Structure 1
Amino acid sequence: MRFPTMFSAAVFMVALLAGAGAQAQTAPRAYAVMSLAGNTLALHAKREQVGTRTESAPIQVLALEDQILDEAAILAARAVLLKALPGAQPVLMMTQDKGLYGAQNAMFDQPDAHQADRDYLKSMLAAQGVSHLVLVSKFRGNAELKLVNSTEGGGVLEGMGFFVDDTIATINLNTQDGSRGMVVPFVYVRVRLLDARTLQVVREATAKRTRILARPSVEPSGMESFAAMTAVEKVKQLSVLLQVAMDETLPRVLAQ
């Protein structure tokens, strides 16, 4: 008589554990959003040198004291997250920790060498009580500045900034206005979805977004056009690209 009783108890326990597992699998995720991509602004230039030689290396990497670009990246990611998951209430996180900025990709590529940074990030997430982190970081890739019928570039771009080309003449196909020199804001970022407890990468994607700004002028160079842009306009141009980058990557990263 005991065997059926024990068997029934065993069946009950299996069913109970299966139900608990199902609840764990269907438990809603709680997201945090953070950006580490906006602490610097890079300026690249392609200019005539001796003969036909040009230079395309970055001429300046400016360290940003404020976090306006990180804020723009976080808000862009939040907009896409809420569109994909209307019931979500993401926690928007900022940090000024130089260690995290410096190790933003290395702590995933070489985790053993950056355990202190990983532990610090995990403690931040634990304090917020979230299950997952959407992390925006810099991505490094070849410069690809796409025109209508060609691709310009040269060198390598990383993070956010501007590529200025003083060697090219362009024509606006709609207005037929010509210009010499172009300014190209760029956003090269990587978006990761991380398990907040372990920092295991659940899914990731990269975006390389650029936008050609060719202004109707024959005399001024691209560098002069760049210098004439206000700080507000420069941030606005990068914010537009950040939103495009998040629209492109985040739905794939969030897919369950």
Structure 2
Amino acid sequence: MEFKLRVSLVCAVCCVLLAPLVVRAADEPVPNVAFLSLAGDSITTQLFMRGTGSKMDANRKMVMPIDNPVLDVEAIQAANKAFKMLRPGVMTTLLVTADKDLFKAQNDLFDEVDANRDNRAYLSSLLSKRAVTQLILITKNRAYAEFRIQDGMVGGGRIEGLGFYIDNETRLMNSRSLVTGSGFVATFVYLKVRLIDAQTLNVLKEVNVKESDLNVNYQLTEAHQVAWDATTGEQKFKRLSEVIAGAMSDAIPALLKTPVL
């Protein structure tokens, strides 16, 4: 009887001591990381033009609006997949928005805070309604066009977001076949990826992504006089999807290195 009584007393004391810990844990929000992309509302096609004199960027640029979220979905799904490889137990939420003001603001959401109070308030409401604790936000990033080849880099001018860089002039040689031809198309994904505290919208960390896939049009024919014609529309979209996936597989591990979720 005495042994049973002691056991009961010990259990009672343990329950009293542990009870505050249980309540405290219950008050803490469950980690819920959301993914949102503001990069897929357009595709940029940039044609390399050799500048003269002091003109730094003579390239011709055409921006094609995208009215559906297919590219943003590609981006957040790829980012979520890369995230789950590193944080398999963390809840995630995939978000898609059609809000034009958010797409227009892009990086100014954080660079020009006072001018984007309404946009930031709207973004906060999207997150709070879904009990999000952290946000991984994908936006466009503008940087110099640099495409790696075996013995260096090619490219000129600046590019941004998602798209295709076309060069009909540069002569390149296939190192395997030794065939030389003029022109190439580079599928590019130039993005900025941020880890953001959902409650304050403070940026915890950010990484810049410059991912590309260079496709060379080695031998021009009468039917294909420019590098752009070397691949079909379906092939171009497939390449863009693959480069987006590659960009996220690089960006997410880099983003998670320092902050610990």
TM-score normalised according to structure 1 size: 0.83
Taking the TM superposition and a 5 Å limit, the aligned residue runs for 1:91-106 are 91-106=93-108
User: Which of 76, 79, 82 does residue 80 from structure 1 map onto?
Assistant: 82
Where does residue 113 of structure 1 map in the other structure?
A: 115
Question: SS state of the match for residue 145, structure 2?
Answer: strand
Unaligned runs of 5+ in 1: 1-14
Distance 1:112 1:49 in 2: 38
Aligned length: 239
User: Which of 61, 64, 70 does residue 62 from structure 1 map onto?
Assistant: 64
Deviation at 1:224, TM superposition (A): 2.9
8 Å contact kept, 2:216–2:227: no
Distance 2:224 2:157 in 1: 18
Deviation at 1:88, TM superposition (A): 2.6
Distance 2:32 2:250 in 1: 22
- The RMSD of aligned alpha carbons is 2.8
TM-score normalised according to structure 2 size: 0.82
Structure 1 residues 85, 155: closer, same or farther in 2, change over 3 A?
same
> What CA deviation, in whole Å up to 9, does each residue of 1:187-219 have, x standing for no partner?
100000111111111111011111110133144
Deviation at 1:39, TM superposition (A): 0.7
Taking the TM superposition and a 5 Å limit, the aligned residue runs for 1:15-164 are 23=25, 28-47=30-49, 56-164=58-166
Deviation at 1:94, TM superposition (A): 0.4
Deviation at 1:248, TM superposition (A): 1.4
> What CA deviation, in whole Å up to 9, does each residue of 1:12-32 have, x standing for no partner?
xxx99x969x95998652111
Where does residue 251 of structure 2 map in the other structure?
A: 249
8 Å contact kept, 1:31–1:131: yes
Distance 1:184 1:157 in 2: 11
Q: What amino acid is the match of 1:46?
A: F
8 Å contact kept, 1:30–1:131: yes
Where does residue 189 of structure 1 map in the other structure?
A: 191
Question: SS state of the match for residue 216, structure 2?
Answer: coil
Distance 2:142 2:129 in 1: 31
Deviation at 1:150, TM superposition (A): 2.1
Greater shift, 66-75 or 224-233, is seen at 224-233
Deviation at 1:48, TM superposition (A): 6.0
8 Å contact kept, 2:168–2:227: no
Distance 2:26 2:109 in 1: 28
Pick the structure with greater CA Rg. 2
Distance 1:107 1:173 in 2: 45
Structure 1 residues 34, 237: closer, same or farther in 2, change over 3 A?
same
